[in-house]
Structure 1
Amino acid sequence: MLMSNQKLKELVNRLSVTFFDKPFKDHVRFNHRLRTTGGRYLPAKRLIELNPKYALEMGDAEFHGIIKHELCHYHLHIEGKGYKHGDRDFKELLKETGSPRHCNPLPSEVNSFKYKYECSYCHRLYKRKRRIDTKKYVCGKCKGKLVAI
């Protein structure tokens, strides 16, 4: 069961005070439309959005790591320091707080390939979520004919 927005804000504030010694004063919410990321920080709105699938499918440690990562963006942005992934300030704060640089893939998304194709010449395997036209596409390695498995 997913936690309420109030409980989510309390969790984020507790992690912020514990790891950053600063309160979290802005907004946080779940965004069900996030697909490829665990969360994001929107500087213009000072809003943290979190992927609810990570709260449901992964353990608390993974979800707390995502929150800490987004809090790194948040606190550096408020302080006027470099808050983007490539900035030195951001990388240093990640290390200090023990926050992950990237989140792990969701278990439900790992083996989601519906279609498999094999090159009839070099036997290279291609896994795809969408079906492809084998008359139109060929092997990227040797230009051989692709065969659906």
Structure 2
Amino acid sequence: MTNAELQQLVEKISTQSFHKPFLHKAYFNPRLRTTGGRYMLRSHDIDINRKYLDEHGMEELIGIIKHELCHYHLHIEGKGYKHGDQDFKRLLQKVGGPRHCASLPSEKQRKRVVLYSCSKCGWKFERKRKINTSKYVCGRCSGKLRLEKEMVFEKR
């Protein structure tokens, strides 16, 4: 599917499901990694992640387009366009759009554990992210922290 075909599909879904025209641009954005699509507030354009079409098919793509069109139409009308707004939730349910898109099988989900210890009292603790050991000290004795090891686990 090309960007021109995507544009036509978005315009078609907008008129069929929302009974309103889509007057801006829709295109595939190869830089999107963690989301299926994105509505741009300033330009009113919609970016779509092509991987969702490739890995989940047309049905998932249509759901993502409906979700982004909910943001689009509500923002243009000056109504609540954010995920937590009641206007958004009602419109999303009315048109049958998904609240969240499915995860991509190609993006392996990983769990990261970073293990630290105190050089003074020996206390060990875990973090999800690395911390600056020259900036932080032990919470128990104010001793110097050192990185023990960093582990990454595959979640599947």
Distance 1:112 1:16, change over 3 A: same
Name the counterpart of 2:5.
7
Please tell me whether the aligned partners of residues 36 and 48 of structure 2 are also in contact (alpha carbons under 8 angstroms): yes
User: In terms of Rg, which structure is larger?
Assistant: 2
Distance 1:139 1:22, change over 3 A: same
Question: Residues 53-103 of structure 1, C-alpha deviation per residue, up to 9 Å, x if partnerless?
Answer: 111111211110000000000011111111111111001000100110110
Displacement of 1:23: 1.4
Please tell me whether the aligned partners of residues 114 and 150 of structure 2 are also in contact (alpha carbons under 8 angstroms): no
Distance 1:134 1:63, change over 3 A: same
Name the counterpart of 2:57.
59
Residue correspondence of structure 1 range 82-97 to structure 2 within 5 A: 82-97=80-95
TM-score, normalising length: structure 2 = 0.72
Gaps of 5+ in 1: 114-126
Distance 1:112 1:28, change over 3 A: same
1:27 aligns with 2:25: yes
Q: 1:133, 1:96 → 2: CA distance?
A: 44
Q: 1:40, 1:76 → 2: CA distance?
A: 14
TM superposition outliers: structure 1 runs of 4+ over 2 Å: 132-140, 145-149
TM-score, normalising length: structure 1 = 0.75
- Give the counterpart letter for 1:8 in structure 2: L
Name the counterpart of 2:46.
48
**Corresponding residue SS for 1:29:** strand
Please tell me whether the aligned partners of residues 41 and 49 of structure 1 are also in contact (alpha carbons under 8 angstroms): yes
Distance 1:134 1:50, change over 3 A: same
Displacement of 1:147: 9.5
- Give the counterpart letter for 1:63 in structure 2: L
Number of aligned positions between the proteins:
126
Name the counterpart of 2:138.
none
Distance 1:95 1:32, change over 3 A: same
**Corresponding residue SS for 2:106:** helix
Q: 1:80, 1:42 → 2: CA distance?
A: 15
Distance 1:135 1:82, change over 3 A: closer
Q: 1:147, 1:13 → 2: CA distance?
A: 48
Displacement of 1:146: 7.4
